[in-house]
């Protein structure tokens, strides 16, 4: 059980590359990958607005339906339900991000009710208000103007490089787009330069973090200004590289880090996969598929992840953004249902990780209400474009170095965003962590 810290271009883009993780972690709950798992919860039709998005789906309780359709709209229809909901919201107000509180809301009301209260709280986070305003503004503008006829971005395209941190098995299973190929292609069509950091295919978080840190040192030596984007397992790898392995001076060229559904504090599915006898089943399947050992799975257990993340101290100049997907029970994809079904008892989850386990301290938050870990958004391109444009504007506001890279401000030498080859693993020293 999780405690304090843990309890596209098309709809199939790399932001949802956790589908690979689910296929593997599905073994932990003894369910077939992507199999049809019948929901064992209520399916009550409900619709309403939350976190700037209209929701039309089914929910698992009348508490969730009433909260979505009435409470969030300021409607006081049933005095008894209003009183109970007011009491629950007030009681959880100061601790809504804690696993104990979310599990209490889940047990007393329902998982969807807890998810909606959690999402609404994040959507009204004062620290994130400016970024959320910019994101919703960009979404509205894209609806009117389309993907092509927009104002120039906040940062000059020639002065920054988008660097992507890939996910688990991104080389062994290229069809799953774990290398961000679709997102990179779309951004390149928009005139941006992108690069993928090559790290281990099925390697521990710690080892991949060392490889990522070495790559980031290469970019720093060349003076390349970068915006980092990671997701799922790439989240803790990036956190460790930035906040434990690299000195602040070695990250001076990193303007922003966007963590999308990052498994910062591990997953209960990894915990279950490492228990006996499930561990032997998973290990045998890995050997059968030729995937090697279980270092990656082992490094995503919650106890190890929480301990690792406790040492992370991200340099203050890096602008931090958390994208947190929060699905309701009627919005969970078939690929996510196995993990979601197992983790419902802990509280809101995206099918792979607990939604409250993704926080990076100091990060501004964007809520992906209605999306699970696989980020199957029907407006995937619009979401990517709105996200990257809003984050650029936000970064310019928060980071003076980014403000100097606005269009028509010539602050860096021509050609400084050339791709820097990253040495292979055998040439990379695995340095001892520098704890701050």
Residue 210 placed within a domain: yes
Distance of CA 406 to the CA centre of its chain: 27
| pLDDT of 171 | 84
Asked if the model's pLDDT at residue 319 lies above 80, the reply is yes
| pLDDT of 361 | 95
CATH of the domain at 402: 3.40.50.1820
CB 264 within 8 Å of CB 239: yes
Residue 9 placed within a domain: no
pLDDT in tens, 80-106: 999 999 999 999 999 999 999 999 999
Q: At what angle do helices 205-221 and 302-309 cross, to 10 degrees?
A: 30
Per the structure block, which two tokens stand in for 353?
């990780």
Asked if the model's pLDDT at residue 149 lies above 50, the reply is yes
Host domain of residue 236: 14-37+122-409
Residue 345 placed within a domain: yes
Least confident of 139-143, 288-292, 317-321, 347-351: 288-292
Residue 289, preceding bond cis, omega within 30 degrees?
Answer: no
Give CA–CA dist 112/268, Å, rounded: 19
Residue 336 placed within a domain: yes
Report the number of secondary-structure helices (H) and strands (E) in the chain: 16, 8
Residue 97 placed within a domain: no
Domains: count for the chain: 1
Collapse the DSSP code of 236 into the 3-class scheme (helix H, G, I; strand E, B; otherwise coil) and give the result: helix
Residue 74 placed within a domain: no
CA angle 80–84–343, rounded 5-degree value: 130
What is the average pLDDT score of the chain? 86
The pTM of the full predicted model, rounded to 2 decimals, is 0.86
pLDDT in tens, 248-284: 999 999 999 999 999 999 999 999 999 999 999 999 9
Residue 342 placed within a domain: yes
Please report the beta strands in 250-338, taking only residues with DSSP state E, as ranges in sequence order: 254-260, 319-326
Residue 84 placed within a domain: no
Q: What is the mean pLDDT of residues 51-55?
A: 94
Burial class (CB in 10 A: 0-12, 13-18, 19+), 277: exposed
């Amino acid at each position: 059980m999780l405690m304090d810290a843990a309890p596209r271009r098309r709809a199939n883009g790399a932001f949802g590359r956790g589908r690979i993780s689910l296929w593997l972690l599905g073994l932990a709950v003894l369910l077939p990958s992507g199999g049809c798992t019948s929901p064992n919860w209520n399916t009550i039709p409900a619709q309403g607005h939350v976190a700037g998005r209209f929701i039309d789906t089914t929910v698992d309780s009348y508490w969730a339906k009433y909260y979505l359709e009435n409470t969030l709209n300021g409607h006081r229809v049933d005095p008894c339900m209003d009183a109970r909901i007011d009491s629950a919201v007030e009681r959880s107000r100061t601790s809504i991000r804690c696993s104990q509180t979310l599990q209490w809301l889940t047990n007393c009301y329902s998982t969807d009710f807890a998810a909606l209260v959690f999402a609404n709280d994040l959507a009204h986070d004062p620290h994130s208000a400016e970024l959320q305003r910019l994101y919703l503004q960009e979404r509205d503008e894209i609806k009117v103007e389309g993907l092509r006829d927009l104002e120039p971005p906040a940062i000059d395209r020639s002065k920054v490089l988008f660097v992507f941190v890939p996910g688990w098995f991104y080389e062994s299973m290229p069809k799953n787009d774990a290398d961000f190929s679709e997102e990179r292609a779309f951004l390149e069509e928009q005139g941006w330069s992108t690069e993928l950091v090559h790290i281990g295919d099925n390697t521990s978080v710690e080892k991949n973090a060392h490889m990522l840190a070495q790559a980031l040192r290469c970019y720093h030596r060349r003076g390349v200004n970068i915006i980092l984007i990671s997701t799922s397992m790439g989240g803790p790898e990036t956190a460790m590289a930035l906040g434990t392995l690299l000195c602040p001076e070695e990250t001076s060229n990193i303007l922003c880090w966007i963590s999308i559904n990052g498994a910062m504090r591990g997953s209960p599915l990894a915990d279950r996969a490492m228990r006996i006898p499930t561990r032997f089943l998973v290990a045998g399947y890995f050997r059968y598929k030729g995937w090697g050992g279980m270092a990656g799975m082992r490094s995503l257990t919650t106890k190890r992840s929480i301990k690792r993340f406790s040492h992370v101290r991200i340099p203050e100049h890096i602008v931090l953004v958390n994208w947190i997907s929060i699905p309701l029970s009627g919005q969970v994809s078939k690929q996510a249902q196995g993990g979601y079904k197992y983790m419902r008892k802990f509280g809101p989850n995206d099918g792979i990780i607990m939604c409250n386990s993704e926080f990076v301290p100091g990060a501004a938050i964007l809520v992906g209400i209605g999306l699970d870990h696989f980020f199957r958004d029907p407006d995937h391109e619009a979401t990517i474009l709105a996200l990257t444009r809003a984050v650029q504007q936000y970064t310019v506001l928060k980071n003076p170095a980014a403000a100097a890279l606005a269009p028509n401000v010539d602050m860096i030498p021509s050609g400084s965003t050339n791709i820097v080859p990253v040495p292979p693993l055998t040439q990379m020293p695995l340095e001892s962590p520098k704890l701050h």
